Structure 1
Amino acid sequence: MATVRYGRRGRYQETVLYDRAQAVPRPQATPAQLAALEKAGQVRKKHEQRRREEEAAQLAQDEADWQAWLDDQAAQGRAALREIVARGNWVTLDTETTELDCPEVVEIAVVAPGGEVLHQSLVRPVGLVSEGARAVHGITDTELATAPGWPEVWAQVRPHIEGKELVAWNAGFDQDAMQRSSRLQGLELPDLDWRCAMSAAAPIWGEWSDYWDGFRYVSLAEACWREGVQVSSPAHRATGDAQRVAALLVAITTTAEPQ
């Protein structure tokens, strides 16, 4: 046996070298030792199998719990919309606007639960219609030039919606558009009983997003397709979309709860 020191520049390590002639062979395991090793291996395999089974069972339980929670959220969304219909004091409203960021109303429609149009009108805005908005609804400057202004239209709309549960697909957007149109005309929009169908519909038809920590909003067109709702009036116009929201609520009420 010898000790060898190696390294450079003050950094050294030592190791021990043995003479192979002096090496002693490792004794072979006894039958008892081999049996103990075999038993230990079997126990280890059983523990590993049990661990895998427990992990699989826990994963299946977690998935079942998650699906049950999703189903419960969807049921709550349907229940919220059904309660609106059951109370029987609701109308739907939709607007088309000048733009998305600072919208003014350029078209508005109010629809009864059965689809009857209570009011529909173009609205001459103060500002200009953006090309992006026009690409969606197709309302031209020529049409709006002869349309009534917001004060006149609001006076006609107001009796149809005050005292009602006012259901809109994206209620926050429609509310913002009506409030902006009112401010620009020196009017004050009263407090209205808004109901956002899009928010209630998100857990019904939207997928969960871990990024947003919430359900993905779906479009009105997707919700109608999922529920089998068909309306002949043009989409992305106030009357057609208000009728789609009304038909969607009625469909949810009259169809059986998914199993």
Structure 2
Amino acid sequence: MTRLDDIGLDLQALSLPTPEQQAQAVIDRFLDWATDPRLAVLDTETTGLGPGEQVIEIGMVDANGRTLMNQRVRPTFPVPAEASAIHGITDEDLKGCPTFDQVWSRLWELLQTHRVVVYNGGFDFNRIADSLNATMPGWYQGDGGPSELLRAWNALIPSVQRDGCVMEAYAPVHGEWSAWHGSCRWARLSAACAERGVDTSDLKAHSALDDARATLRLIQATAELTPEGLPWIGREEEA
């Protein structure tokens, strides 16, 4: 009986996408976002980077760059000086601003009615959850089990964090391979925009609304690439 490998067929090679196909798949993800009228891009500024830190500014734009939300939020503790040094937001700026629980219903409505993407979605949604914990204690508890909000959160947010993270999607385009991690390294939003020639001269870095606008422009610019412009994808380990 003749075996397939006796006639020179490599079954594994037949089943694997080519580098060009892999590059096109990366581009298609951005093209899908860029052409979806339901798209919304979210960004936040926070009191810090670690667990327990809170959201103090929320920016969200739609697929056409129109503002859906541009809101500062007063946290339950003072903004650390090191955080203010980055985004320029101080306690004085937040006087008279609503607390997170007072803006939550509007934000939650937007999250449910749009296809939301974020540059580093894991970070933003962890800080949103921390803000809920601080201003709506027990939001996740219902009578004898999880609250309706927690069930809705668990049905929506993990998929946004997984499928809507622009930073993760852009990593192969950035193309800096890490042999240690076996994957491409993440790029900062500013670096990614510079690589794609995105004009951000009219935007302020570390402004939630402007960072959302920059992310939308990055999505649109990346969607215009071709596989020929990303010759390293599918060949990263050869470098």
TM-score, normalising length from structure 2?
Answer: 0.73
The 5 A counterparts of 1:35-50 are none
Given that 1:113 and 1:250 are in contact with CA atoms closer than 8 Å, whether structure 2 keeps it comes out as no
Any gaps of 5 or more consecutive residues in structure 2? Answer: 1-17, 141-148, 230-239
The aligned residue for residue 218 of structure 1 is: 187
- Is 1:98 matched up with 2:47? yes
Aligned to 1:251: 221
Aligned to 1:89: 38
Alignment of 1:119-138 (within 5 A): 119-138=69-88
SS in 1 for 2:70: strand
Q: What SS does structure 2 have at the residue aligned with 1:128?
A: coil
Partner of 2:127: 177
Per-residue deviation, 1:255: 4.6
Aligned residues: 191
How far apart are residue 129 of structure 1 and its match? Answer: 2.0
State which structure, 1 or 2, has the greater radius of gyration over its C-alpha atoms: 1
* Alignment map for 1:2-151 (pairs within 5 Å): 69=19, 73-102=22-51, 103-151=53-101
Judging changes above 3 Å, is the alpha-carbon distance between structure 1 residues 75 and 219 closer, same or farther for their aligned structure 2 residues? farther
TM-score by length of 1: 0.68
CA RMSD of aligned residues (A): 2.0
Task: State how far apart, in whole Å, the 2-side matches of 1:213 and 1:257 are.
Answer: 21
C-alpha deviation, 1:142, in angstroms: 0.3
Name the structure 1 match of 2:236: none
Query: 2:224, 2:175 → 1: CA distance?
Result: 21
> Structure 1 residue 166: deviation in Å?
0.9
**Percent identity over paired residues:** 31
Task: Tell me the amino acid that sits aligned with residue 238 of structure 1.
Answer: A
Q: Following TM superposition, by how much is the alpha carbon of 1:96 offset from its aligned partner in structure 2, in angstroms? A: 0.3
Q: Which runs of 5+ in 1 are unaligned?
A: 1-67
The letter for the 1-side match of 2:26 is G
Which secondary structure does the structure 1 equivalent of 2:78 belong to? coil
- Rounded to whole Å, the distance in 2 between the matches of 1:175 and 1:74 is 29
Does the 8 Å contact 1:75/1:204 carry over to 2?
Answer: no
What SS does the corresponding residue of 1:107 show, helix, strand or coil? strand
How far residue 240 of structure 1 moved from its aligned partner, in angstroms, is 0.7
Deviations 1:73-100 (A, max 9, x none): 5443222222223343210000000111
Offset, 1:257: 4.5
Q: C-alpha separation between the residues in 2 aligned to 1:75 and 1:130?
A: 43
Instruction: Report the Cα distance in structure 1 between the residues aligned to 2:86 and 2:228, rounded to whole angstroms.
Output: 34
